[in-house]
Amino acid sequence: MSTLKEWIFTTDHKKVGLLYLIGSLAAFAVAGMSALMMRAELTSMGPTITDNPGDYNTWLYFHGAAMILGFQIPALTGFLANYLVPLQIGAKDVAFPRINALSVWLFYMGIILALLTFVVPDPPDVMWTGYPPYSTITFGNTALYTFTVLLLGFASILGGVNFLTTIAFMRAPGLGWNKLNMFTWCTFAAFILQLIFVPVLGTAVTLISLDKYLGTHFFDPSTGGDVLIYQNLFWFYSHPAVYVILLPFIGIVFDIIATFARNRIFNYKAAVYGGIGGIVLLAGEVWVHHLYVTGMPDWIRVGQMVTTLLISIPVGLLFISLVGTLYKGSISFETPMLYALAVVFLMLIGGLTGIPLAIVSLTLHVSDTYYIPGHFHYVMAVAGTFAIFGGIYYLFPKFSGRMYNEFLGKLGFWITFVGVNVIFFPMMIVGVVVGMPRRYWDYSQFPAAEPYHHWMTAGAGMIAIGFTIVLANWIYGLVAGPKAPGNPWGSRSLEWTTTSPPLDHGNWEEVPKIEEGWGPYEYGTGKA
Amino acid sequence: MGGNRLYRALSTALLATASGLVRAAEEELSEFVPYEKIVPREIEDPAAGFDHLWYEVMVDITIIGVVFALLALYFLYRYRRRSEDEEGSQKPLSRLNIIGWALIPAFVFMADDFFLSANGWQLYDLYRRVPENSLEVKLESAMWTWDYTYPNGVKTYNELRVPAGQPVVLRMTSRDTIHSHFIPDFRIKEDSMPGRVTYLWFYPKEPGEHVVSCAEYCGQLHSRMYGKVIVMPREEFDAWYQAEADKQNIKLTKLGD
């Protein structure tokens, strides 16, 4: 009992981080099950497991909202940031431990609110995007959507204040900006984006509930409102939100690849200032590519086609650094590294298939088809999830003091990896070739799509098996795994200089000393 | 020395890009004519343009993807760990290398971006410039139906009959929420929404039937909101159009009696 109390009221960044992990994995599990239900429904044309499209719409709503807001963002900027950032900068804790505890509480309340979707009689059916006028005229519970977003958003804002302060002011003496881990840099950038853009999302979702429940007319053209304002506000946040997910996951992938290649980051400065910095600068100027088919003025559609394409420059620099880090490395292939390399592969496909989506004339056909979910699952959903799983495996010995099973780890990885390609590649093809639109409960008007759907459902089954093995492996590792050595991967990074798990408060006996020539990626210098 | 050469190469590339942009903009402006007042010319089909550009982009991204993937695979094989305590041996980059490895790829990507933008813009122009002799049909969408109104007042539901060989432009709005009129075979969609009039045009050349389906989530029966575009030979269409007009007008006069 006392330990439960200790966990609930903890202000220790590591415990807060693990709480984020547990909550976000719960959201992942339920959202994953909704995905399986959807895939089962779509196996064949016509009603398959439910003849109520409302059921399908609810699963789809929950899958999207919970995976993005309840799983990926909290797992990356909650769990990984909380656990890793103070350790990577040699700090005893975050700057505001109590605010940190408050944000994890808000996160849990948000998760509980989201899960109420399956309890209330009129579940939200507005998709994770919540576009009005539909969201203001539906019988579904739009308020639940609004308040879930507000709670999770507020948790993020508090996290942003906390981590920007922590990284700016609590680095160990001698740890300059150019010696920061890539993950810490990426977290810093992600929270800058969160702080700027989350309030915009909060405004947007608040206004739809005002419209629906209090009779205002922000989005009702018959009384002077405008339906497109919401979409502009929403994507003004939600495109940067893609980078809030992308940056931390690419950061952890950098750290994993550098560790398992025992190599310095290729062109670190270009990756940090050109890559990460470029993304932060461009993030807010590309949102109109989500509105290419809404009748936005032509000049802004063409203008943002150019800005959207320019995103390829910072992302390209990050890619060159990722692949370049392998050059002259000493590469080993444990489970975390397999996940990290898979992320590079998935991002390569996902990123490149995003290029046609930047081109306004091509989206006139592919927008809102299955090509879109195929593309963003590659570049964000699956790549992000693989990075999170790789991160969990990477930190497993750190936070548990034990090792997982390497064979099960690799088995789970390969099954999942094949599965995601079996589901999401056909998804892109069916979108372009057949023109199958997304968010469909039935596709009787597109009989040519059915064979593709068989493949996709098979892929979903593989993913389910793969993730079950992964979960079983983690439970086995936590309960019965062999004791882990202090630094099992031979990393130079600061988080591995303390005990595993680190001391409860303070992380180190005394603040780590940063020597002149030290850096988190200074391999090959002969000094261990 | 090397620095100077690099500097000269980069500034030449920058100047070339900039002057190219200026020239492109001048051309664009010199031929600027308000969209709907284009001099009649041979009608180009945006759907064919789509297929062409799509193919071009696929080739472009496949090349980039294969280069990166092969390089990564080669590194993974070539630099696999041979002994337990082996470490990577990459040296820190010199300042020139840091800048070169940032600016040169940046310029290469930027060149590709501008190339794609130019092609995308050209095709987009085609998509948005409605040919003069188009058949103009009004569309009002609603949960969950497409209601079409022809110039002579004929109304149809979920069925758009058009003559082969004449471009069709839809002026669209919506009664309730946002819908999106998507005709995959003509590679075109555009949202319809309350309070705004949007448009799209397409060019049906051969007689045939095409699916039109809603592409913007609009609630319970979103996936059942579909209809047909029926392209008919000219004479058949004219006959149908006249007969339909008579039929619907007769009903109206009877109501007025």
Number of neighbours of residue A213 by Cβ within 10 angstroms = 12
- Closest chain B residue by Cα to residue A444: B224
Judged by CB atoms closer than 8 Å, whether chains meet at B189 and A365 is answered as: yes
Residue B184 lies in a domain: yes
My answer on whether omega of the bond before B144 falls inside 30° of 0, hence cis, is yes
Chain A residues in contact with B220 (beta carbon < 8 A): 53-54, 57, 125
The total number of structural domains in chain B stands at 2
Judged by CB atoms closer than 8 Å, whether chains meet at A316 and B124 is answered as: no
Chain A residues in contact with B76 (beta carbon < 8 A): 326, 331, 341
Are A500 and A401 within 8 A, CB to CB? yes
A4, amino acid identity: L
The helix/strand count (H/E) of chain B reads as: 4, 10
Residue A223 lies in a domain: yes
Confidence band for B247, pLDDT divided at 50, 70 and 90? confident
Tell me, yes or no, whether B61 and B158 share the same domain: no
The CA distances from residue A143 to A138, A439, B44, in Å, are: 11, 21, 48
Our measurement of the distance from residue A366's CA atom to the centroid of its chain's CA atoms, rounded to an integer in Å, reads: 24
Q: How far is A16 from chain B (nearest CA, A)?
A: 34
The model's pTM? 0.91
Q: Give the pairing type, strands B188-192 and B135-142.
A: unpaired
Number of neighbours of residue B68 by Cβ within 10 angstroms = 20
Residue A83 lies in a domain: yes
Are A444 and A383 within 8 A, CB to CB? no
Are A483 and A474 within 8 A, CB to CB? no
**Residue B22: what pLDDT?**
76
- Closest chain B residue by Cα to residue A132: B177
Indicate the residue of B65, B68, B218 with minimum beta-carbon distance to A323: B68
Enclosing domain of residue B76: 2-81+92-128
Judged by CB atoms closer than 8 Å, whether chains meet at B61 and A355 is answered as: yes
Q: How far is B1 from chain A (nearest CA, A)?
A: 22
Query: Count of alpha carbons within 13 Å of B36, Cβ hemisphere only?
Result: 6
DSSP label at A76? Answer: I
Q: How far is B173 from chain A (nearest CA, A)?
A: 11
- Closest chain B residue by Cα to residue A226: B195
Separation between Cα atoms, residue A154 and residue A190, nearest integer Å: 15
Tell me, yes or no, whether B76 and B146 share the same domain: no
Judged by CB atoms closer than 8 Å, whether chains meet at B187 and A267 is answered as: no
Six-digit token pair at A304? 């943002």
Separation between Cα atoms, residue A483 and residue B230, nearest integer Å: 70
Judged by CB atoms closer than 8 Å, whether chains meet at A53 and B222 is answered as: yes
Tell me, yes or no, whether B158 and B237 share the same domain: yes
- Rounding to the nearest 10 degrees, give the CA dihedral for residues A425, A430, A432, A433: 120
Separation between Cα atoms, residue B203 and residue B169, nearest integer Å: 9
Query: Count of alpha carbons within 13 Å of A126, Cβ hemisphere only?
Result: 26
Six-digit token pair at B196? 């705004």
**Residue B14: what pLDDT?**
74
**Residues sharing a CB contact under 8 Å with residue B25, sequence separation 6 or more, in sequence order:** none
Q: What is the mean pLDDT of residues B146-163?
A: 94
- Closest chain A residue by Cα to residue B226: A445
Tell me, yes or no, whether B139 and B64 share the same domain: no
Please tell me whether residue A421 adopts helix, strand or coil conformation.
helix
The total number of structural domains in chain A stands at 1
Separation between Cα atoms, residue A289 and residue A496, nearest integer Å: 42
Please tell me whether residue B180 adopts helix, strand or coil conformation.
strand
- Closest chain A residue by Cα to residue B225: A445
Are A144 and A113 within 8 A, CB to CB? yes
Separation between Cα atoms, residue A235 and residue A233, nearest integer Å: 6
Enclosing domain of residue A220: 16-497
Q: How far is B235 from chain A (nearest CA, A)?
A: 28
Nearest-CA neighbor of B118 among B47, B179, B172, B53?
A: B53
Are B154 and B115 within 8 A, CB to CB? no
**Residue B132: what pLDDT?**
87
Q: Which of B50, B79, B83, B200 to mutate to test the interface with A (most CBs of A within 10 A)?
A: B79
Inter-chain CB pairs, A–B, below 8 Å: 261
Residue B205 lies in a domain: yes
Tell me, yes or no, whether B22 and B70 share the same domain: yes
Here the ipTM equals: 0.91
Tell me, yes or no, whether B193 and B144 share the same domain: yes
Residues in chain A: 528
**Residue B257: what pLDDT?**
47
Six-digit token pair at A454? 């068989």
Q: Residue B207: give its domain's CATH number.
A: 2.60.40.420
**Residues sharing a CB contact under 8 Å with residue B52, sequence separation 6 or more, in sequence order:** none
Number of neighbours of residue A454 by Cβ within 10 angstroms = 13
- Closest chain B residue by Cα to residue A332: B81
**Residue B30: what pLDDT?**
66
**Residue B32: what pLDDT?**
60
Judged by CB atoms closer than 8 Å, whether chains meet at B79 and A326 is answered as: yes
DSSP label at A502? Answer: P
Residue B9 lies in a domain: yes
Indicate the residue of A302, A323, A432 with minimum beta-carbon distance to B75: A323
Q: How far is A74 from chain B (nearest CA, A)?
A: 27
Six-digit token pair at A257? 């690849």
- Rounding to the nearest 10 degrees, give the CA dihedral for residues B113, A319, A243, A229: 10
Q: How far is B203 from chain A (nearest CA, A)?
A: 14
Chain B residues in contact with A309 (beta carbon < 8 A): 113, 116-117
| Alpha helix segments (H runs only) across A89-139 | 97-115, 134-137
Separation between Cα atoms, residue A212 and residue A231, nearest integer Å: 16
Residue A150 lies in a domain: yes
DSSP string, A341-403: HHHHHHHHHHHHTTHHHHSHHHHHHHTTBTHHHHHHIIIIIIHHHHHHHHHHHHHHHHHHSB-
Chain A residues in contact with B194 (beta carbon < 8 A): 133, 221-222, 227
Residue B219 lies in a domain: yes
Q: How far is A241 from chain B (nearest CA, A)?
A: 21
Residues of chain A falling short of pLDDT 70: 1-2, 526-528
The pLDDT tens digits of the residues spanning B18-65 come to 777 777 777 666 666 555 555 556 788 999 999 999 999 999 999 999
C-alpha angle A230-A64-A142 in degrees, rounded to nearest 5: 50
Indicate the residue of B185, B187, B190 with minimum beta-carbon distance to A295: B190
Are A409 and A473 within 8 A, CB to CB? yes
Q: What is the mean pLDDT of residues B149-175?
A: 94
Nearest-CA neighbor of A197 among A146, A250, A160, A246?
A: A160
Residues in chain B: 257
Judged by CB atoms closer than 8 Å, whether chains meet at B176 and A137 is answered as: yes
Residue B86 lies in a domain: no
Judged by CB atoms closer than 8 Å, whether chains meet at B213 and A446 is answered as: yes
Separation between Cα atoms, residue A103 and residue A419, nearest integer Å: 35
Indicate the residue of A309, A320, A348 with minimum beta-carbon distance to B65: A348
Six-digit token pair at A384? 């992000």
Residue A399 lies in a domain: yes
Indicate the residue of B98, B109, B220 with minimum beta-carbon distance to A312: B109
**Residue A256: what pLDDT?**
96
Judged by CB atoms closer than 8 Å, whether chains meet at A368 and B213 is answered as: no
- Closest chain B residue by Cα to residue A267: B98
**Residue B26: what pLDDT?**
72
- Closest chain A residue by Cα to residue B121: A302
Residue A488 lies in a domain: yes
Chain A residues in contact with B101 (beta carbon < 8 A): 266-267, 270, 320, 324
My answer on whether omega of the bond before B105 falls inside 30° of 0, hence cis, is no
Q: Residue A198: give its domain's CATH number.
A: 1.20.210.10
Judged by CB atoms closer than 8 Å, whether chains meet at A328 and B88 is answered as: yes
Judged by CB atoms closer than 8 Å, whether chains meet at B57 and A356 is answered as: yes
Query: Count of alpha carbons within 13 Å of A502, Cβ hemisphere only?
Result: 27
Q: Give me chain B's average pLDDT, please.
A: 88
**Residue B1: what pLDDT?**
45
Are A80 and A17 within 8 A, CB to CB? yes
**Residue A2: what pLDDT?**
67
Indicate the residue of A127, A228, A362 with minimum beta-carbon distance to B53: A362
Separation between Cα atoms, residue A174 and residue A512, nearest integer Å: 10
Q: Which of B73, B108, B128 is the last residue of a domain?
A: B128
Q: Which pairs from A36-42 meet CB under 8 Å and 24+ separation?
A: A36/A460, A36/A464, A38/A63, A39/A423, A39/A456, A39/A457, A39/A460, A39/A461, A40/A457, A41/A441, A42/A440, A42/A443, A42/A453, A42/A456, A42/A457
Q: How far is B238 from chain A (nearest CA, A)?
A: 28
Separation between Cα atoms, residue B87 and residue B80, nearest integer Å: 11
Separation between Cα atoms, residue B113 and residue B124, nearest integer Å: 16
Chain B residues in contact with A349 (beta carbon < 8 A): 65
Judged by CB atoms closer than 8 Å, whether chains meet at A368 and B216 is answered as: yes
Tell me, yes or no, whether B122 and B236 share the same domain: no
Chain A residues in contact with B218 (beta carbon < 8 A): 134
Chain A residues in contact with B180 (beta carbon < 8 A): 293, 368
Q: Per residue in A470-488, is it b (16+ CB within 10 Å) or e — as a string? A: beebbeebeeebeebeebe
Are B116 and A359 within 8 A, CB to CB? yes
Judged by CB atoms closer than 8 Å, whether chains meet at B109 and A131 is answered as: no
